[in-house]
Amino acid sequence: MKQYWALLPMTIISCFLFLSSLAQQPVKPCFKVLVLYENGGHHIAYSTQAKVWLNQLAIDSNFVIQYLIGTDSITEDFLQQYQLFIQLDYAPYAWKDKAVKAFEQYIEKGRGGWIGFHHATLLGEFDGYKMWQWFSSFMGGIQFKNYIPDFADGTVQIEDTLNPIMKGLPHNFTINKEEWYTYDKSPRQNVHVIARV
């Protein structure tokens, strides 16, 4: 019996060390995010700061991010590993044909979500490229008209207060000194509006 009592402290210490090692193992990420962004131009500071924020959000929320600065590697097989596609200040023109087809299938077949920032809705004919008609329809049938050249304040009014993306936000809030785009028409007839400016 004395032998068992002598082994008890060693067994408890071993169990504690084993459980501690399990607690220190990294938790498997919940999901993977692909971020397509411009790595230059006059909005580079925006992309740089957005990456810092996204990296911290990924740590805090347990997901993995991969960044791309072009569409060369985007194929249907490549996109299958991602549950979210973020178009961070990357225009919807000058994409490789295979990337266009892969992205359209990714969205149409519901393989993942999409979030676009800034240049993501720069829809029209720019730099000799035709407008991506599918993407225009995806954005509600809009075409870029112009932008407000001087930074302006805008009041955001939430319309869909039950949408989880609006959780914790007031019904109205102001965004100060932002560059706002204008479009040829309202996309309201073709999309579900979550908030308006």
131 and 180 Cβ atoms separated by less than 8 Å: no
Write out the DSSP string of 63-87.
-EEEEESSSTT--HHHHTT-SEEEE
Q: How far apart are CA 45 and CA 49, in angstroms?
A: 6
> ∠ CA(177), CA(124), CA(132), 5° rounding?
120
Residue 26 is predicted with a pLDDT of 66
CA 21 vs CA 25, 26, 30, 122: distances in Å: 7, 10, 21, 50
Say what the pLDDT of residue 25 is.
62
Encoding tokens for residue 14? 């071993």
Residue 28 confidence (pLDDT) = 85
Rounded to whole angstroms, the Cα distance separating 72 from 175 reads: 35
Mean pLDDT for each consecutive 10-residue tract of the chain (197 residues)? 46 45 66 94 91 97 97 98 97 96 99 94 92 97 93 96 95 95 96 95
- Domains of the chain with bracketed CATH: 31-139 (3.40.50.880), 144-197 (no CATH)
Q: What integer pLDDT is reported at residue 12 of this predicted model?
A: 44
- Look at residue 134 in the predicted model and tell me its pLDDT: 98
pLDDT confidence of residue 3: 52
What pLDDT shows up at residue 152? 95
Please tell me the predicted confidence (pLDDT) of residue 118: 87
- Interatomic CA distance for residues 60 and 56, integer angstroms: 6
Taking the C-alpha atoms of 49, 55, 58 and 63 in order, what is their torsion angle to the nearest 10 degrees?
Answer: 120
